[in-house]
Structure 1
Amino acid sequence: MKVRTKLFSGALLVGFLACVYWILRETDTLTTILDTNALHARVVQLGAWGPAAIIALMMLAILVSPIPSAPIALAAGAAYGHSWGTLYVLLGAEAGAVAAFAVTRFVGYESVHRWFGDRLSIGLIGSQNVLMGIVFVSRILPFISFDIVSYAAGLTVLSFWRFAIATLAGIAPTSFLLAHFGSEMGTGQTDKVLVSVLALGGLTLIPVGVKLYRDWRARRRLERHEQ
């Protein structure tokens, strides 16, 4: 398929997602998504279709950046508990990430490869293990945009299955904690909610702590070498 055709297809997809977001905003559906309690009530009303709605909303939240995923994950936990809630959140987030990766891999990878050529396969940006590690760490850190990483990864040489595995491994702990947090919020037991919040914060600090420790070790080795 020609590059122009791919770019046109990508533009159509962007336009479609923009229309979806506009419809959600104009119909006040976005307001419901942002309100965990309202979304929880709506999901419960859907009955057997509730899990499918959670998965679809999680997927949409990854593809359309302005839609936050945290309220959806909390509502999933409140409606279905930590186990099933985690499963539905994982399925939706993984599907959304894979879809975003596939979009840029299909639309933009060939163009990027033409511009940079073999340089994409040289050094750290050409290492499957390094790229896989970057994706994994980015999934743990909440201040790094989930969707941007998914889209950007599709433009690299990272293989599809490595991206999928790194994403799944990275989002599993956070998905469980958010679903668990949502489940405990529904019980009204503030002590358990506090534990969940602390656990989520601790999980976020782990990669930061590892990075600081490695930097400290590197400085120590450099100081010893200079002596």
Structure 2
Amino acid sequence: MTRKWRKRFKRLLQRHNFTAIGVLLLSLLVYAVISTQGKTNLLTPQGLQQAVSDTGLWGILVYIAVITLAVVISPIPGAPLTVAAGAIWGAIPAGIYSVIGGFLGGLIAYFIGLTLGRSAVQALTGKAIYFSKARGEWLIGGFIFVTRLLPVLSFDLISYGAGLSGLSLPVYAPTTLLGMIPSTLLLTYMGQAFTIGLPLGIALSMVFLMLLVLLPWGIRRYNWLGLRDMIRVE
């Protein structure tokens, strides 16, 4: 075993990595059991709503598990499910459940990147991501906060990239958590607004969708906020 792999193995044995793996396995188990027994597609808003109706209070755990997996396994669509949760539980409860699931998924992805390295991340996402630490950790933390607040870049890629770059957990965790709360609540509010027809909620939803289109375009064309200098995705 090479020195590089010995170092990774020692990291893997650390308690926080075991915790992350345990949460991931629990989420996979919940997803597998509900999908098999209920014969519903939990990855669609309709399937999620049906699963919640069938499982009662356990539906909250099911939803948190699915949102956790949506971060770690990128093909799972997290945003539509978050909107659907707002329609099921209301904006605030759904926002709390979504933040818990998203934050757990972000931590798991961070520890995967930190422990298993770039080859594992490429196998999971099909992409390579590079962070520049030339301007210091807290600037990267600010960048993560912005991308959580306005989710113009993939949640999972940013989480994996933070781990790959060796960004410290005290910088990554609070910027992720604080940044994701407003955008998550907006998505759940969108779901609630569409069910009860609130004009303000629908208007905010349209503005949010426009930002998701315009911000990536501005970043690519004009390098807004200098984001292209800190991150590269291949």
Structure 1 length-normalised TM: 0.69
Q: Which residue of the partner structure matches residue 187 of structure 2?
A: 178
| 1:134/1:122 CA distance change after superposition, 3 Å | closer
Report whether the alignment pairs 1:4 with 2:5. Answer: yes
8 Å Cα contact 1:140-1:203 kept in structure 2:
no
Q: Which residue of the partner structure matches residue 94 of structure 1?
A: 103
Choose the corresponding residue for 2:155, options 142, 146, 150.
146
Query: 1:27-58 deviations in whole A, cap 9, x for unaligned?
Result: 6x997334313312321321111111111111
Task: Report SS of the residue matched to 1:33.
Answer: coil
Q: How does 1:34-45 map to 2 (within 5 A)?
A: 34-45=43-54
8 Å Cα contact 1:74-1:181 kept in structure 2:
yes
Amino acid aligned to 1:3: K
Choose the corresponding residue for 1:196, options 196, 204, 209.
204
Deviation at 1:141, TM superposition (A): 3.6
Q: Which residue of the partner structure matches residue 122 of structure 2?
A: none
Q: Which residue of the partner structure matches residue 131 of structure 1?
A: 140
For residues 75 and 211 of structure 2, the distance between their equivalents in structure 1, rounded to whole angstroms, comes to: 24
Deviation at 1:64, TM superposition (A): 0.3
Task: Report SS of the residue matched to 2:158.
Answer: helix
Report whether the alignment pairs 1:73 with 2:82. Answer: yes
Query: 1:127-153 deviations in whole A, cap 9, x for unaligned?
Result: 011110111122234341110110011
Query: What is the identity percentage for the equivalent residue pairs of Structure 1 and Structure 2?
Result: 30
| 1:192/1:36 CA distance change after superposition, 3 Å | farther
Report whether the alignment pairs 1:63 with 2:64. Answer: no
8 Å Cα contact 1:132-1:162 kept in structure 2:
yes
For residues 204 and 81 of structure 1, the distance between their equivalents in structure 2, rounded to whole angstroms, comes to: 23
Q: Which residue of the partner structure matches residue 58 of structure 2?
A: 49
Amino acid aligned to 2:208: L
Report whether the alignment pairs 1:84 with 2:93. Answer: yes
Task: Report SS of the residue matched to 1:142.
Answer: coil
8 Å Cα contact 2:112-2:163 kept in structure 1:
yes
Alignment length, in residue pairs?
A: 195
For residues 213 and 145 of structure 2, the distance between their equivalents in structure 1, rounded to whole angstroms, comes to: 14
For residues 194 and 41 of structure 1, the distance between their equivalents in structure 2, rounded to whole angstroms, comes to: 25
| 1:138/1:30 CA distance change after superposition, 3 Å | farther
Structure 1 vs Structure 2 CA RMSD: 3.8
Computing the radius of gyration over CA atoms, which structure comes out larger, 1 or 2? 1
Amino acid aligned to 2:105: G
Please, which runs of 5 or more residues in structure 2 have no aligned partner? 119-130, 226-234
Deviation at 1:192, TM superposition (A): 4.6
Structure 2 length-normalised TM: 0.67
Amino acid aligned to 1:155: L
Of Structure 1 and Structure 2, which has the larger fraction of its residues in helix? 1
